[in-house]
Amino acid sequence: MNFMEFFWILQVLIGIGLLVSAIVAIRFKNLIMAVIAMAVFSLILSLEFYVLQAPDVAIAEAGVGACLTTAMYLLAIKNTTDEEVIE
């Protein structure tokens, strides 16, 4: 397995993961599930920046996407009324 073939396999896996997590984040009605799917989306997007040789952008995306938006969305959901569906 040379490097270009391996890079192609990696790109296909990352693309499938991005598509699946974006569809889950849009379609699911549960708010916590949407927040978790957004965390997964940001994780796979950070991996994509990482594979495309931009580690500084990957660090920024990881910091903003993994920690900050997840915490902010959860704090916002916690302050709403109890309309969200919790299984």
Partner 1 sequence: MNVDTAFMVALVLLLFSAMLTLIRLLLGPTIPDRAVALDSMTTTTAGAMVLYGVITKQAVFIDVALVYAILSYIATLYIARYLVKKKVGIA
What is the helix (H) or strand (E) element at residue 45, kind and residue range? helix 31-51
Residue 77: name the closest of 5, 56, 85 by CA: 85
Contact 37, 25 (CB under 8 A): yes
**Binding letters toward partner 1, positions 5-34, x by CB under 8 A:** -x--xx--x--xx--xx--x-----x-xx-
48 is a site residue for partner 1 (CB under 8 A):
no
37 is a site residue for partner 1 (CB under 8 A):
yes
Distances (CA, A) of 22 to 60, 63, 65, 76: 20, 19, 14, 21
Q: Which residues are at the interface with partner 1 (CB under 8 A)? A: 1, 3, 6, 9-10, 13, 16-17, 20-21, 24, 30, 32-33, 35-37, 39-40, 43, 46-47, 50-51, 55, 58-59, 62-63, 66-67, 70-71, 74, 77-78, 86-87
